[in-house]
DNA sequence: GATTGCGGCCGTCAATAAGT
DNA sequence: ACTTATTGACGGCCGCAATC
């Protein structure tokens, strides 16, 4: 376009610089990659999986590859006759790609196809590690758990934490806020309105509903309640405490009770 | 040249299964 | 009912190289 644009100087010793617009021509692009393939002993599509982006740049292909989004899309464009399915070219998603929920969902969609996941129930059996090692690490890093990642991608499902081997974050239960939140929910669910109502609750009932690690912070349920709800009076006698096995079979214990 | 995706490696500890 | 042993979800750190 510029009038002076076509002025050309003598080439430097090494690589002969191509004329302006040369790399825009597909046939030239293709011959570059043909040449590259020959020099690097690339015989079939899968051989490209060993090639790095920087190798192409070093060989002088930067201006070609920049016209496409990645090495893989460059190859797919230039060699449409080849079957690129199952060939993993060394490239990666654009920066900040995974912040988009649609992209996360796309990943999980493809993951689902690979593992024949067709229902909610199938998702409950998916291991965190599988997702991680199949390229989901970056997504998982954005969420505190696999479950919450799935929730974000598929809000249309009614995700129930009980169905998943999801875990509280490390040290979660050391925080009294979290302990209190759990017991608040527990109380609401079981309609426990005042301290004496807790006498209906057993240690193992709480463990059963996911409070095991909370209770581990304390020597007993009563101790937990006293610490978490210091504003209440916790009369020991109102809260059942667990007794040794066969405790009540012993007449002297029975007698002691009365 | 700075940032960031990616995956390997592995420690920590929440959750639960297995044992008594 | 209660203890212990095991599993594996989660996360930190790091080096490499793709992307900006």
Query: Among residues A105, A136, A163, which one ends one of the domains?
Result: A163
- In angstroms, the CA of A213 and the C1' of C9 are apart by 15
The number of distinct structural domains making up chain A is 3
Q: N- to C-terminal Cα distance for chain A?
A: 105
Mark the ranges of chain A whose per-residue pLDDT is less than 70: 1-15, 236-258
Query: What tokens appear for A74 in the block?
Result: 């460059």
At A249 the pLDDT is: 43
- In angstroms, the CA of A133 and the C1' of B1 are apart by 31
* Residues A36/A60, Cβ–Cβ less than 8 Å: no
- In angstroms, the CA of A218 and the C1' of C15 are apart by 43
Over the stretch A143-159, which tens digit does the pLDDT of each residue have? Answer: 999 999 999 999 999 99
* Residues A115/A166, Cβ–Cβ less than 8 Å: no
Strand B neighbours (CB under 7 Å) are A 92-93, 95-99, 133, 135, 137-138, 165, 167-174, 207, 210, 212-213, 216
| Residue A46 domain-assigned (yes or no) | yes
Which nucleotide is nearest, taking the CA of residue A172 and each C1'? B14
Task: Give CA–CA dist A49/A89, Å, rounded.
Answer: 4
Task: Give CA–CA dist A186/A3, Å, rounded.
Answer: 79
Give me the domain span that covers residue A218.
172-238
**pTM of the predicted model over 0.85:** no
Do A214 and A234 sit in the same domain of this protein?
yes
């Amino acid at each position: 376009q510029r009038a002076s644009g076509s002025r050309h100087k003598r080439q430097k010793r090494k690589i002969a610089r191509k004329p302006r617009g040369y790399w825009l021509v597909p046939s030239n692009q293709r011959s570059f990659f043909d040449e590259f393939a020959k020099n690097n002993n690339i015989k079939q599509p899968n051989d490209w999986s060993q090639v790095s982006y920087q190798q192409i740049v070093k060989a002088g292909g930067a201006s070609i590859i920049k016209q496409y989004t990645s090495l893989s899309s460059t190859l797919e464009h230039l060699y449409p006759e080849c079957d690129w399915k199952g060939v993993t070219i060394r490239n990666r998603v654009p920066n900040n790609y995974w912040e988009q929920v649609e992209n996360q969902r796309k990943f999980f969609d493809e993951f689902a196809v690979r593992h024949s996941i067709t229902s909610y129930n199938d998702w409950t059996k998916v291991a965190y590690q599988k997702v991680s090692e199949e390229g989901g690490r970056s997504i998982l890093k954005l969420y505190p758990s696999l479950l919450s990642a799935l929730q974000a991608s598929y809000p249309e499902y009614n995700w129930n934490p009980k169905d998943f081997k999801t875990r509280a974050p490390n040290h979660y239960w050391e925080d009294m806020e979290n302990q209190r939140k759990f017991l608040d929910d527990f109380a609401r669910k079981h309609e426990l309105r005042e301290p004496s109502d807790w006498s209906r609750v057993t240690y193992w009932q709480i463990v059963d509903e996911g409070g095991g690690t909370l209770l581990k912070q304390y020597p007993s349920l009563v101790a937990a309640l006293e610490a978490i709800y210091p504003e209440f009076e916790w009369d020991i006698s109102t809260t059942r405490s667990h007794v040794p096995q066969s405790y009540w079979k012993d007449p002297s214990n029975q007698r002691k009770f009365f």
